Amino acid sequence: MLRLVGRNQYTLPAAKVLDTPRFPWRGLMIDSARHFLPLHVIKETLDIMEANKLNVLHWHLVDDQAFPFVSTSFPSLSKEGAFDPQTHVYTPEDVQSVVDYARLRGIRVLAEFDTPGHTLAWGKGIKGLLTQCFDKAGKPVQPDMFGVMDVTANATYDFVRKFFAEVVGRFPDAYQHLGGDEVNFTCWASNPAVREFMRRRSFGGDYRKLEGYYIQRLVDIVSKELRKSYVVWQEVFDDNVTLKADTVVHVWKGREGSWPSEVKRIAQAGLKILLSSPWYLNYISYGTDWTKYYMAEPTNFDPASAAQKRLILGGEACMWGEWVDASNLISRTW
């Protein structure tokens, strides 16, 4: 309280404020692949994140529906895969403006390029990148909803190496999100060449092993060659891929309340954890659905040592874009 001590003279008692967040990772994920998000909406989101002390923007840039990221190494990706290659893309200058705008507000930008699934739009610009699918009669067909990379081809890894080298140079954050979730095995299983590759590798009929083969090679490229730490969705851990000690496993399943068991298993493996399961904002229910977001406690898994609980870096709220665009992103999220 101000105290008057003389004419136009006041004293203010000295105070020392100690205010430290519990978790270093306080994020929000936005999706610009299902619906394109103009730059002004992304920057408005960053403004609100700053006001709410969130410090990581997880940018899910591309997916089956569209590839709006303009790659200088592979310009055909956005030219063929974006909703509109002129108006619905993020140029290198656009990306830099988002990174700079976020940095000035104390916010990191974590870019996600999800593979080997969710890649239908990728295949429009890079011929031969996706697995050829076949129908029950053995005739070639085009995937109608989901794309999956041909992880048996050496050319795929040549592409991945060059593409992620560009991405790492464009996004300066210490981490790269590599995705790895929801791989549809149907196309792989329909392809005779893939089945033969599985036989030679002694994978049997377990296509999780084929996914793990790809993820392991990708992880080695990003961590060993490009010297970048990485985040993966929880399926990568669940499928027993060998992961570096500094891996961050992103937990998203178990929104009904079963996620603590997954967090516990990851912590027991000594890996860092990023939690999103309780905070899928794109799921709306009747009544007061917001209370459960505040009731979720990331460290609520027992028994757990103090060291294991420290492996939880924090969490991210997710706003997936199937039913969200520039008209309602702000209102739906906040």
What is the CB-side half-sphere exposure of residue 236 using CA atoms within 13 A?
30
Angle value at C-alpha 167, between 28 and 55, nearest 5 degrees: 25
CA distance 279 to 210: 31
CB 141 within 8 A of CB 46: no
Residues paired with residue 56 on neighbouring β-strands, in sequence order: 27, 108
- Residue 94 has which token pair? 């656009």
Check if 225 is active-site: no
CA distance 325 to 330: 9
CA distance 97 to 151: 34
Q: 31: exposed, middle or buried (C-beta count within 10 Å: 0-12, 13-18, 19+)?
A: buried
- Residue 303 has which token pair? 């028994």
- One-letter amino acid identity for 195? R
Whole-number Cα distances in Å, 51 to 85, 106, 113, 225: 34, 11, 28, 37
- One-letter amino acid identity for 200? R
CB 267 within 8 A of CB 304: yes
Of the residues 44, 50, 166, 182, only one is catalytic, namely 182
Catalytic residues: 182
